[in-house]
Amino acid sequence: MKQEPINKTEAFWDKMAKNYDREERSDVKTNLSITEKLKSLVSPSDAVLDFACGTGFFSTKIASSVHHIDAIDIASKMIERAKINSELHNISNINYHHTNIFDEKLKPGTYDCIMALYIFHLLEDSPTTIQRIKELLKSGGKLISVTPCMGEKPFVYNLLSLISRLGLVPKIKGFKRYNLEQIIKQNGFEITISEKLVGTSNQYYIVANK
């Protein structure tokens, strides 16, 4: 699976790929908490999609707990580093693809679980993407997300919005928790867990069933 052509957003994340591993590992407590939550919700028979996988940090953490993972990202450099990370950890049940979630090679009703970690606030069209996630899930499948709700940090959000207008970072959505929950529910999901991650000011962990 391959996404063409390279665009401005992909170019930004390609540039970030070199140091992205270090950034992902920087918040040890939060990452450990997310990993434990993920492992508690998956099963050894599960087919998992890691949407916007980055360098594969969380996929590698849960690979031994599931049957297999398809991990996708729009940035080719992220995928390159993710493959290297899997090789370093001797992981063989993760398939990495440079593509987006609307790739027709991703078949409806395929996945028991879709992880959408740190991506919803970066999407141009969250409702359409969440509808696509629902389509890809099996009946009763789970959407697991972690999202910084920047609408709850107005000063930081306004600063990031200014920086994004200068073209230095991608555009960021100013979700509040309620807004994100509404979008998920309006697209046919039942939210079973919604909580702020301990030690964060605006990062929300949401689990929703199809």
According to the model, what pLDDT value does residue 128 have?
Answer: 96
Q: How far apart are CA 166 and CA 143, in angstroms?
A: 33
48 vs 151, residue with greater confidence: 48
Q: What is the value of pTM for the model shown? A: 0.91
The model's pLDDT over 179-196, given as tens digits with 9 standing for 90+, comes to: 999 999 999 999 999 999
Is the CATH code 3.40.50.300 the one for domain 8-209?
Answer: no
3-state helix, strand, coil in the chain (%, to 5): 45, 25, 30
Residue 59 has pLDDT above 60, yes or no: yes
